[in-house]
Amino acid sequence: MSRSPFKFLDAYQKEDKDRFFGRERETAQLYNAVHASNLVLVYGGSGTGKTSIINCGLGNQFVDSDWLPLYVRRGTDLNQSLERAISGAMTRDGLAAEVPITERIRALYLDHYRPIYLVFDQFEELFILGSRAEQQRFYETVRQLLGTAVTCKVLLVIREEYIAYLSEFEKMVPALFDNRLRIEKLNDANLARIIVGTARAAGIQVTDPPATVSGILENIRDRRTGIDLTNLQVYLDRLWRADLERQGTETPATVTFDPALVEKVGKLGNVLSAFLDEELAGIEAALSKRGVAQPQGIPLEVLFALVTEEGTKRNLDVPSILDALPGNRDIGEPHLRFCLAELERIRLVRQLAG
């Protein structure tokens, strides 16, 4: 089958400029914010496209000589991940880890002569998985960085339901909330621009746009939470696949979205259910190729190990997940890590410690 033209579960990157729509205002606000302060807090609900606005929107406001962005996720420890990001960006021998971070940032700046932008994406992971010691060390690092004369910008990107966790951070960095930007859900007009614009960029014909777009939006709208941009990408991908099936070819001259196709694909719930079944089956097939004797059901069992009886998330490391699996499911750490990476890829889990 031809490769889907949609971003699916991935954030937009700088090279996606020609198919990134609907966030011009927020991009301009963010660009102004990073010039007004060395610390910017970006927050919003899950599925609002925060990462895409930074990677693609903000990224395309700069030429490469204007900034040096370092994108940092927590991994197993946010402070260690920052250390690795700094060391990895050096083109010559860096300074030892015991040297104050302000001096290492200064060395990095002199290595590139570009303002440094430290982008801490999915910052809520520090509170979901991190210890108090890890948190306190990071707060102190930011406090020191903001006091250095070297041009170093810090962007913290967090889901808004974790804002309350920042109270201790604010005590050490009182300016934490001074320069903040909330990313809100897109309205229907901008969502329509995304649908039509991304379809056009992919060479997809949209027949009767008002009816087709309206049908898509109604099929994916959650009456309580609105429309999630990730779900929109999944749905558009399903429409694309459905038209290939309708035409009976994997390489059609033109893919067409129309009201009949939208009606055939139906509601988002059905699409997500089919998507989950396909992805889990794909993980099982990959585990089989890796030599796992009976991979059927393993991805679901891993998920169940990460959820309590009350339906809340368990913060388990890899050894603890292995212990939580049924006795006949001793798949070994390498295969479990592969399974977790695949489940993270489809956003069913977030990064785990250990």
Residues 46, 158: contact at Cβ < 8 Å?
no
> What is the structure's pLDDT at 313?
60
pLDDT for 312 equals: 53
- For the chain, give the mean pLDDT: 88
Categorise residue 203: left if φ over 0, alpha if ψ from -120 to 50, beta otherwise.
left
C-alpha 207/C-alpha 23 separation (Å) is: 25
Cα gap 282→106, rounded to integer Å: 46
Six token digits for residue 17: 């400029």
Assess contact for 255 and 206: CB atoms under 8 A: no
Which position has the higher pLDDT, 284 or 351? 284
d(CA 52, CA 49): 5
Q: Quick one: CA torsion of 159, 220, 236, 276, rounded to 10 degrees?
A: 70
Which position has the higher pLDDT, 75 or 30?
A: 30
- Mean pLDDT over 212-229 rounds to 92
Q: Given this model, what pLDDT does residue 143 score?
A: 95
Q: What is the mean pLDDT of residues 92-112?
A: 81
pTM: 0.80
Mean pLDDT (whole number) for 176-198: 94
Mean pLDDT of 194-207: 93
* Cα distances (Å, whole numbers) of residue 135 to 142, 152, 168, 325: 11, 20, 9, 30
Q: Whole-angstrom Cα distance, residue 266 to residue 51?
A: 29
Residues 88-115, buried b or exposed e (16+ Cβ, 10 A)? Answer: eeeeeebbeeeeebbebbbbbbeeeebb
Predicted pLDDT at 176: 96
Whether 259 has a pLDDT exceeding 80, the answer reads: yes
pLDDT at 354 over 50: no
Rounded to 5 degrees, what are φ and ψ at 119?
A: -105, 110
Rg, C-alpha atoms of the chain: 22
CA distance 97 to 312: 37
